[in-house]
Amino acid sequence: MPERTDFSALIAGHTVVIEMINCGDSGVPVLSQLLRVAQSALGASGMAFVEFAPTGGRVIAATGAAEWTLGRPLPADDPDTVCLLSGPRVQQVRMDRLTGKLAHALVGRGLRRMTVSRAEIGGLAVGSLHALYPTDGDGPDAEQRGVVAYLASCIAHMYGDQSGLPVHGDGPVVAAMADGLAVVDRDGSVRLWNPAAAQVTGRSSADALNQPLPFPLPPSGQVLDHRLPDGRWLRVTSGELPGPGMLRVVTFRDTTDQQRRDSDRNLFVAVTSHELRTPVTVIKGYADTLTDHWESLTDADRRLAARVIGQRANELARLVDRLLSAAAEVRPGEDPPAPFDLADALRAAVADFSAELRHRITLDLPAGLPKALGHRASLATVLLELCTNAGKYSPSGTSIDVAARADGPTVSFRVADQGIGIHPEHVERAFDRFWQGESGDRRRYPGAGLGLYLVRRIVEQQNGWVSLRPKAGGGTVAEVRLPRE
């Protein structure tokens, strides 16, 4: 028998989602709540939403039996991605008929069927909503397919409203639909000019219609940053509209503040000069003290100075490594991934930590853990970055818990702290290069904003993935998943 939809639960749950939006919530928290509502109402084992970008997709929200996929990338050329972006907008898919790695992993966990609907705006996909089931027998009835399609449309509306979505800055072309929107004919003349377009450009519909665009038109599917004569910046994207007429849809938004905030070169110089200056100043100060006052210092003072110099030199070396790795697009190794003992690698990595950090670590490493498939040497860097980050954003003296486990086709470890936590809407932005929390207090939380960026690069180059989430009761959980042997 096909699963039946619990419409009363759906309506009650959707009411909660709407109330969240009315209270100012947006983005990933609202999306995750909508997935929890959908899972219960549809009788699914799990739900997932994949956001599409030019480089492929990524799971940005997941519940139930699919929660382990959170943060999982789907490359643009992955067979699963191709399947999601082609065919009917709403479809039932048997997992064993897909050839991608993610589908294979889902089947291995007993999930054999999914009902999937693309979230679209103007025929362009922003993502896909998935309801996952353990059986491959009778599929959902028309009502359930309609519910999945309806919920996908609700999510597309969130994208259109720019309510915290897209999560990724290089999101889909249609992510700016709530901003300036124009339709251009084959001759380059404007046929549609929405109110937001008039507000963004200062050009009314009467002045814009039947006239050329007041800025260059990028090739279909590409992004163009254009500076207006008044100094403001626009981010312009375009795509072809289906059907006759050879029409192009053009979306654009004012990104002046973003251009100022995300100027990588200026930010790199400012951040790195600050971060490099601090340890260099301390090292020079203590070295000068030893040189100029050696005879008058006690043995205890000399040992303290030497210890501080060593600690700061280690910090400096680590920072330089991170900067060089980021500039060189770090790779964990040229050799192919190989099996290694994850528990042993974690213990060895912790043993090399500074005494201050090492004493805060608690390990929960079960016996008989399957071997992971990857580059063991790079694991020390990953764990150090995650533990350092956890230590920086949590009170000194509180524990940093490192736990490993095997789960289906993956072996994973988690780093959990008792710190200030992370806002749900920041769980993906935290992996951006040079991005830090919005407190702006570099004196309290110093750093170059490179650690998590490097972690994701290293892990994904080993066919794994990493995710962040707030921890119940306070703090943050970082989870790394690697293929198991």
The pLDDT of residue 462 is: 86
Q: CA angle 53-57-61, nearest 5°?
A: 110
Give the β-pairing of 372-374 and 338-340. Answer: antiparallel
Quick check: bond before 166 cis, omega within 30? yes
pLDDT at residue 186 is higher than 70: yes
Decide: helix, strand or coil at residue 438: coil
Treating both helix axes as pointing N-terminal to C-terminal, what angle do 7-22 and 27-42 enclose, rounded to 10 degrees? 170
Mean pLDDT across the chain, nearest whole number?
81
The pLDDT of residue 174 is: 38
CB distance 146 to 7 below 8 Å = no
The pLDDT of residue 60 is: 92
Mean pLDDT value across residues 418-433: 85
Residues 6+ apart with CB under 8 A from 379: 340, 342, 345, 346, 349
Mean pLDDT value across residues 318-327: 61
Q: Which position has the higher pLDDT, 15 or 177?
A: 15
Name the least confident of 18-22, 360-364, 406-410, 437-441.
437-441
In angstroms, rounded to a whole number, what is the distance separating the alpha carbons of residues 106 and 102? Answer: 6
Q: Which position has the higher pLDDT, 256 or 197?
A: 197
pLDDT at residue 63 is higher than 80: yes
Instruction: For residue range 231-263, list pLDDT tens digits in order.
Output: 788 888 887 765 555 677 788 888 776 655 554
The pLDDT of residue 48 is: 95
In angstroms, rounded to a whole number, what is the distance separating the alpha carbons of residues 375 and 213? Answer: 51
Distances (CA, A) of 397 to 350, 359, 384, 390: 17, 9, 17, 12
Name the least confident of 121-135, 183-197, 293-307, 434-448.
434-448
Mean pLDDT value across residues 334-342: 83
Structure tokens at 246: 């050879």
The pLDDT of residue 175 is: 38
Q: Which residues pair with 256 in a beta bridge?
A: none
Q: Which residue has 């989430």 as its token pair?
A: 469
The pLDDT of residue 176 is: 38
pLDDT at residue 78 is higher than 90: no
In angstroms, rounded to a whole number, what is the distance separating the alpha carbons of residues 248 and 240? Answer: 5
In angstroms, rounded to a whole number, what is the distance separating the alpha carbons of residues 269 and 263? Answer: 10
Instruction: For residue range 137-148, list pLDDT tens digits in order.
Output: 655 568 888 999
What is the pLDDT confidence band of residue 442, given thresholds at 50, 70 and 90? very low
Q: Which residue stretches of 181-263 are H helix?
A: 195-201, 205-208, 256-261
Mean pLDDT value across residues 469-483: 92
The pLDDT of residue 137 is: 61
Containing 357, the helix (H) or strand (E) segment is helix 355-358
Give the β-pairing of 361-364 and 400-407. Answer: parallel
Name the least confident of 51-55, 435-439, 481-485.
435-439
Name the least confident of 176-190, 345-359, 363-377.
176-190
**What residue ranges define each of the domains in the chain, with the CATH number in brackets?**
7-160 (3.30.450.40), 179-256 (3.30.450.20), 263-327 (1.10.287.130), 338-483 (3.30.565.10)
pLDDT at residue 89 is higher than 70: yes
Name the least confident of 316-320, 338-342, 408-412.
316-320
Give the count of beta carbons closer than 10 Å to the beta carbon of residue 233.
16
In angstroms, rounded to a whole number, what is the distance separating the alpha carbons of residues 469 and 427? Answer: 6
pLDDT at residue 362 is higher than 70: yes
Percent of the chain whose pLDDT exceeds 90: 26
Residues 6+ apart with CB under 8 A from 219: 238
Mean pLDDT value across residues 81-92: 80
- Residue 354: which of 292, 419, 415, 308 has the closest Cα? 308
pLDDT at residue 412 is higher than 70: yes
The pLDDT of residue 435 is: 65
Percent of the chain whose pLDDT exceeds 70: 81
State the pTM of this model: 0.64
Q: Which residues pair with 482 in a beta bridge?
A: 411
What is the pLDDT confidence band of residue 130, given thresholds at 50, 70 and 90? very high
What is the pLDDT confidence band of residue 332, given thresholds at 50, 70 and 90? low
In angstroms, rounded to a whole number, what is the distance separating the alpha carbons of residues 144 and 408? Answer: 29
pLDDT at residue 121 is higher than 70: yes
The whole-angstrom distance between residue 36's C-alpha and the CA centroid of its chain comes to 20
pLDDT at residue 476 is higher than 90: yes
Q: How far apart are the first and last CA of the chain?
A: 37
DSSP string, 87-152: S-SEEEEEGGG--SHHHHHHHHTT--EEEEEEEEETTEEEEEEEEEES--SS---HHHHHHHHHHH
Distances (CA, A) of 77 to 56, 342, 406: 8, 30, 28
